[in-house]
Amino acid sequence: MKYEIGMIGLGVMGRNLALNMERNGFGVIGFDIDPVKRQAAVEQFVGKQISVAQSLSEFFAALRSPKIVWLMVPAGKPVDAVIDAIKSFLKPGDLIIDGGNSHFTDSERRWKSLKKEGLLFIGTGVSGGEEGALYGPSLMPGGEPAAWPLVENIFKTIAAKTDEGAVCAEWIGEGGSGHFVKMIHNGIEYADMQMIGEAYFLMDRILHFKPEKMSAVFARWNKGKLNSYLIDITARILAEKDTKTGKAMVDVILDRAGQKGTGKWAAQTALDLGVPAQTFAEAVFARFMSALKQERLMASEILAGPKPDFTGDPQAFIDEIAQALYAAKICSYAQGFQLMRSAGKAYGWKLNFASVASLWRAGCIIRAQFLDAIRHAFERNPELNNLLLDDYFKEILVQTHPIWRRVIIRAVEFGVPVPALSSALAYYDSYRSARLPANLLQAQRDYFGAHTFERIDAPEGRFFHHQWNG
To the nearest whole number, what is the mean pLDDT of the chain? 96
Averaged over 221-241, what is the pLDDT?
A: 97
What local confidence, expressed as pLDDT, does residue 470 receive?
74
Predicted confidence (pLDDT) per residue in 111-165, tens digit: 999 999 999 999 999 999 899 999 999 999 999 999 999 999 999 999 999 989 9
Is 327 within 8 Å of 400 (Cβ atoms)? yes
Domain-ending residue, one of 135, 154, 175: 175
Residue 464 placed within a domain: no
User: Has this prediction a pTM greater than 0.75?
Assistant: yes
Averaged over 189-213, what is the pLDDT?
A: 97
Q: Is 189 considered catalytic here?
A: yes
Query: Which CATH number covers residue 55?
Result: 3.40.50.720
In a shared domain, residues 257 and 296: yes
In a shared domain, residues 155 and 230: no
In a shared domain, residues 58 and 196: no
Query: 283 lies in which domain range?
Result: 183-431
In a shared domain, residues 230 and 170: no
Domain-ending residue, one of 175, 199, 222: 175
Q: Is 244 considered catalytic here?
A: no
Annotated catalytic residue within 174, 189, 198, 282: 189
Averaged over 205-234, what is the pLDDT?
A: 97
Residue 452 placed within a domain: no
Number of structural domains found in the chain = 2
pLDDT reading at 260 higher than 90: no
Q: Which residues have CB under 8 Å from 465's CB, separation 6+?
A: 446, 450, 452, 453
**Beta-sheet strand order (sheet of 68-71):** 50-52, 28-31, 5-8, 68-71, 95-98, 120-127, 138-143, 173-174
CA distance 178 to 258: 25
Q: Tell me the pLDDT band of 258, cut-offs 50, 70 and 90.
A: confident
Domain-ending residue, one of 175, 198, 220: 175
> What percentage of the chain reaches a pLDDT higher than 90?
94
Annotated catalytic residue within 182, 198, 282, 320: 182
Query: Which CATH number covers residue 427?
Result: 1.10.1040.10
pLDDT reading at 34 higher than 80: yes
What local confidence, expressed as pLDDT, does residue 261 receive?
77
